[in-house]
Chains A and B, each alone.
Chain A
């Protein structure tokens, strides 16, 4: 069975500090991978997607970047956090014509 794991579960960071969030999918080769951001009480905004190792497409510009160093790993990062980066970050995976399946998310508070 496929599993998707996000880390860390939660982060409290200072404005201007760097950030790295991770996501690993096990039990599925060559998945499509996604990063989403959710403001408290809000809807989900797709940030990035990747269909293969080393390839990442940006959907919106939020001073964040993403990388896919391995087939089963997706990393979200920034060198300098903003207050507006606070929220819930969700990683998801799917195959063509399937609905994305989500991890449990990382809650980020930027102070």
Chain B
């Protein structure tokens, strides 16, 4: 079945710096990719999602890159601020209805 690895597990950046999180997956049939943010004690907030035919998507200071050849998905938070501190998860959708999550990255943005 689909395997998803996410790195780094912990990331600390200064306010205004960028933060990059990377996921690699194994199933080339994966059709849908997403990034979520989870704050302490809360559910998951969907940040952005892309279909497999999209290489790059930018929204509100976030950039998602998809490299299908290398089976790699990345999330770039440009100009991070303290409110971005949370745990971030990637998720890949494998047919028919299985969504596999990465192991999470705990991001700390220092003022």
User: Given the complex, which residues of A lie within 8 Å of B44, measured CB to CB?
Assistant: 44, 90, 92, 102
Q: Which residue of A lies closest to B96 (CB)?
A: A51
From known contacts A34-B99, A97-B51, infer whether A43 and B43 are also in contact, taking CB-CB under 8 Å. no
B34, CB-defined interface residue at 8 Å: yes
Q: Which residue of A lies closest to B87 (CB)?
A: A41
User: Contact: A107 with B104, CB < 8 Å?
Assistant: no
Question: Bound state CA distance, A51 and B95, in angstroms?
Answer: 13
Question: Taking each of B32, B36, B42, B97, which has the highest tally of chain A beta carbons within 10 Å of its own beta carbon?
Answer: B97
**Total A-B contacts with CB atoms under 8 angstroms apart:** 53
From known contacts A43-B89, A43-B104, A98-B49, infer whether A103 and B43 are also in contact, taking CB-CB under 8 Å. yes
Chain A interface mostly helix, strand, loop or mixed?
strand
Question: Bound state CA distance, A41 and B51, in angstroms?
Answer: 28
B89 in complex: contacting residue of A34, A44, A98, CB < 8 Å: A44
Binary per-residue interface labels of chain B (49-86) against chain A in the complex, 1 for a CB within 8 Å, 0 otherwise: 10100000000000000000000000000000000000
A104, CB-defined interface residue at 8 Å: yes
* Least Cβ–Cβ distance between A91 and chain B, in angstroms: 9
User: Contact: B97 with A99, CB < 8 Å?
Assistant: no
Q: Which residue of B lies closest to A49 (CB)?
A: B97
User: Contact: B98 with A99, CB < 8 Å?
Assistant: no
A 72-111 contacts with B by CB, 8 A: 90, 92, 97-105, 107
Question: Bound state CA distance, A103 and B42, in angstroms?
Answer: 9
- Give A residues with C-beta under 8 Å from B: 32, 34, 42-46, 49, 51, 57, 59, 90, 92, 97-105, 107
- Give B residues with C-beta under 8 Å from A: 31-32, 34, 36, 41-46, 49, 51, 89, 91, 93, 97-104
